[in-house]
Amino acid sequence: MIEADNASGKWGTWAAQDAGTGEAGQARLGTPRVHTRFPPEPNGYLHIGHAKSILLNYGLAKKYGGKFNLRFDDTNPAKEEQEYVDSIIRDVRWLGAEFDPNVPGGEYGGGLFFASDYFQQMYDFAVELIKKSKAYVCALSADEVSKRRGTTKEPATSPFRDRPIEESLRLFDEMRAGKHANGTMTLRAKIDLASPNFNLRDPVMYRISHEVHHNTGDTWCIYPMYDWAHGIEDSIEQITHSICTLEFEDHRPLYDWFIDAINGGTALQSSGGCGPTKETALDSNSTRPIWHAQQIEFAKGIPTYTVLSKRNLLIMVQEGIVRSWDDPRMPTIAGFRRRGYTPEAIRSLWEDVGVTKYNALIDYSRVENAVREHLNKVAPRYMAVLRPLKVVVENWPAGTVDWLDAVNNPEDPSAGTRKVPFTGTLYIEQDDFMEDAPKKFFRLAPGREVRLRWAYFLKCESVVKDAAGNITELRCTIDPATRGGNSPPPPNERKVKGTIHWVSADHAVPAEVRLFDRLFTAEQPGERTGNWRDDLNPKSLEVVTAHMEPALAAAKPGDRVQFERLGYFCVDTGGGTALGSGVVNPPPSSAESRPNKFVWNRTVTLKDAWAKEVTKE
């Protein structure tokens, strides 16, 4: 998205200011430096919204020849797990954001970092603040702190605010040593109990949490809060642009206060709103001032018909609405990947949307459009029939197989051709036949002729029905002069309006195909009733047994193709394990899970002008 014209101007401006505003800054530095980071908490899988941030941060670094870090903001072990760390690394790489996991701050991009690796440094800084009387140990319970939070008119209070420095130092040491239970005390910054910005009313810096951490094990039982930790993380990594979402805007004063407090208590000169405060720290042997990154906020984007918070996505998994974080209907990056989306599609989506401070509702059609656009260029075409209707070709010589040439991708001549077998018994799509067809229906109907893609002109002679009146098969004839699907030579030259796909019944490869619909029926799930469960789509998953042309039997998990006239599909990478039905479900029984099945997922349908026509009436 950084390549996009609209974004480049804005980011270009920021980067220019990054170099330092004065001539002195320019002279000292020569070139602007850009170093960004994506700082997820490993408490869930990444979703499509995170992709915006990843792409923004990485794209910025790439555009300006800077660096990009993946940094885990793992300061709350109660919610974090190694599984999430692993999935996030996988997803960030899949999206194409480069970082070197082995070389922190390496040549390409930046590196892979963990906030938890800085715990000792953060602790040391905290001790400094206590010594400067800028922090104190408070023994108020969470409840009491909340009660004493004050109002818009009344300031907050804490009886421990004036605790002697020595006492706070001793207690903080005890907290770290594990001598106190969870919730009994905290370290608080001494800022301004009367601030209209409640974030500044002596915010908590450390809480006691006797938890095992996925990275540091049981080394620590006190953990830093986000506001205290984040600026230090950015500082250690010498991040230039600390990009975060809008809800942190009123945390920015806190972010700055903490860094300034470490730097000696006098506010450093601001560089005018954008860019880091000073580059001098880089060249100094002194440890002060420490690097002061600039926090910059941008708006999230959320597609319609989706729920996008890790908390609610976790609930969907836990309640069995879906069976896994990577369910193809999930808005997680893993879900989109399994669904068949490409990184290019997700990139182009966010490039298209751009970066602003307006919380945008993204039309879901944009998401679908992005993947159609990319897959149209790269996906090879094949024929598969989702809902078969048997066709007997009465004038086809019994036992004869005609191998016909089919173009693999009309958008890409280099994709070549393949052979498709034609016989006297075929399957066509049920939707491609109508007994009483309107004039606008271009497909097969009694007495009408269509083209079988790459094969022959086919004419419907009669309809066979069972006792109940259901159509069981069609009796048809082909015109041998149309082999390859071309109009016969004069004098029988003619055009047919419709071309339909087909599969030879004798050669058809059966496969389970999962047809996904959106998980929710409301543009903004939960907007109506306050509970998104009320807007779940009970028909988010339909499973059919399709008949595919034989070439598809060789497809490997993850392969993406177009089923002609139907949409883009991919071979399931989840081994075909069962999915939830999209409504609140019991957990799966072990018998339900049949791994290694040959299963296809529908990524997205093709646009369908006829379906739209039908809907109109």
Partner RNA sequence: UGGGGAUUGGUGUAACGGUAGCACGAGUGACUCUGACUCACUUAGUCUAGGUUCAAAUCCUAGAUCCCCAACCA
Distances (CA, A) of 142 to 138, 152, 154, 163, 615: 10, 20, 19, 19, 57
Residue 33 or 207 having the CB closest to RNA? 207
Candidate ranges 144-152, 459-467, 538-546, 552-560; the one touching RNA (CB under 7 A): 144-152
CB of 325 to RNA, least distance (A): 18
The token duo for 1 is: 């998205």
d(CA 279, CA 17): 12
Task: Decide if residue 246 touches RNA (CB under 7 A).
Answer: yes
CB 449 within 8 A of CB 431: no
CB of 573 to RNA, least distance (A): 24
Task: Tell me: cis bond preceding 491? Omega within 30 of 0 counts.
Answer: yes
Residue 74 or 327 having the CB closest to RNA? 74
Candidate ranges 86-94, 276-284, 420-428, 498-506; the one touching RNA (CB under 7 A): 498-506
Residue 245 or 585 having the CB closest to RNA? 245
Distances (CA, A) of 287 to 58, 149, 238, 262, 265: 29, 36, 13, 10, 15
Residue 507 or 565 having the CB closest to RNA? 565
**Nearest residue to 19 via CA among 66, 71, 69:** 66
Task: Decide if residue 190 touches RNA (CB under 7 A).
Answer: no
Task: Decide if residue 183 touches RNA (CB under 7 A).
Answer: yes
Torsion, CA 74, CA 79, CA 82, CA 83, rounded to 10: -130
CB of 176 to RNA, least distance (A): 14
**Nearest residue to 314 via CA among 539, 572, 84:** 84
CB 109 within 8 A of CB 60: no
Q: Token match 């919730």: residue?
A: 183
Torsion, CA 300, CA 305, CA 309, CA 310, rounded to 10: -130
CB of 375 to RNA, least distance (A): 10
Distances (CA, A) of 406 to 420, 455, 482: 7, 9, 15
Residue 184 or 593 having the CB closest to RNA? 184
User: Which residues have CB under 8 Å from 326's CB, separation 6+?
Assistant: 45, 332, 334, 335, 337, 338, 574
Residue selected from 328, 335, 343, 354 as contacting RNA according to rule CB under 7 A: 354
Task: Tell me: cis bond preceding 538? Omega within 30 of 0 counts.
Answer: no
**Nearest residue to 90 via CA among 194, 137, 82:** 82
CB of 230 to RNA, least distance (A): 7
Exposed, middle or buried by CB within 10 Å (0-12, 13-18, 19+), for 3?
Answer: exposed
CB of 372 to RNA, least distance (A): 6
Residue selected from 409, 423, 504, 573 as contacting RNA according to rule CB under 7 A: 409
Residue selected from 52, 213, 214, 565 as contacting RNA according to rule CB under 7 A: 565
Residue 369 or 577 having the CB closest to RNA? 369
d(CA 149, CA 159): 13
With contacts defined by CB under 7 A, how many residues of the chain interact with RNA?
Answer: 91
Task: Decide if residue 518 touches RNA (CB under 7 A).
Answer: no
Residue 37 or 207 having the CB closest to RNA? 207
Candidate ranges 81-89, 288-296, 354-362, 502-510; the one touching RNA (CB under 7 A): 354-362
Candidate ranges 213-221, 417-425, 544-552, 557-565; the one touching RNA (CB under 7 A): 557-565
Residue 300 or 533 having the CB closest to RNA? 300
Task: Decide if residue 186 touches RNA (CB under 7 A).
Answer: yes
Task: Decide if residue 403 touches RNA (CB under 7 A).
Answer: no
CB of 114 to RNA, least distance (A): 12
Q: Which of residues 423-442 bind RNA (CB under 7 A)?
A: 440-442
Rg of the chain on CA atoms, in Å: 31
Residue selected from 82, 184, 529, 593 as contacting RNA according to rule CB under 7 A: 184
Task: Decide if residue 352 touches RNA (CB under 7 A).
Answer: yes
308: which DSSP letter? -
Residue 225 or 460 having the CB closest to RNA? 225
Q: Which of residues 16-55 bind RNA (CB under 7 A)?
A: 39, 41
CB 239 within 8 A of CB 134: no
Angle between helices 119-131 and 165-177 (to 10 degrees): 160
Residue selected from 48, 225, 313, 386 as contacting RNA according to rule CB under 7 A: 225
Task: Decide if residue 76 touches RNA (CB under 7 A).
Answer: yes
CB 426 within 8 A of CB 388: no
Q: How far is CA 232 from the centre of its chain?
A: 28
Residue 28 or 163 having the CB closest to RNA? 163
Task: Decide if residue 9 touches RNA (CB under 7 A).
Answer: yes
Q: Which of residues 589-608 bind RNA (CB under 7 A)?
A: 606-608
Task: Decide if residue 613 touches RNA (CB under 7 A).
Answer: yes
Q: Which of residues 360-399 bind RNA (CB under 7 A)?
A: 360-363, 365-366, 369, 372-373, 376, 381
CB 240 within 8 A of CB 36: yes
CB of 456 to RNA, least distance (A): 9
Q: Half-sphere exposure of 105 toward its Cβ, with a 13 Å CA cutoff? A: 7
Task: Decide if residue 410 touches RNA (CB under 7 A).
Answer: yes
Angle between helices 343-353 and 48-63 (to 10 degrees): 80
Q: Which of residues 80-139 bind RNA (CB under 7 A)?
A: none
Please provide residue 120's backbone torsions phi and psi, each rounded to the nearest 5 degrees: -65, -45
Task: Decide if residue 12 touches RNA (CB under 7 A).
Answer: no
> Reduced to 3 DSSP states, what percent helix, strand and coil does the chain have, rounded to the nearest 5?
30, 25, 45
Task: Decide if residue 531 touches RNA (CB under 7 A).
Answer: no
CB of 84 to RNA, least distance (A): 12
Candidate ranges 213-221, 491-499, 506-514, 576-584; the one touching RNA (CB under 7 A): 491-499
Q: Which of residues 268-307 bind RNA (CB under 7 A)?
A: 299, 301
Task: Decide if residue 1 touches RNA (CB under 7 A).
Answer: no
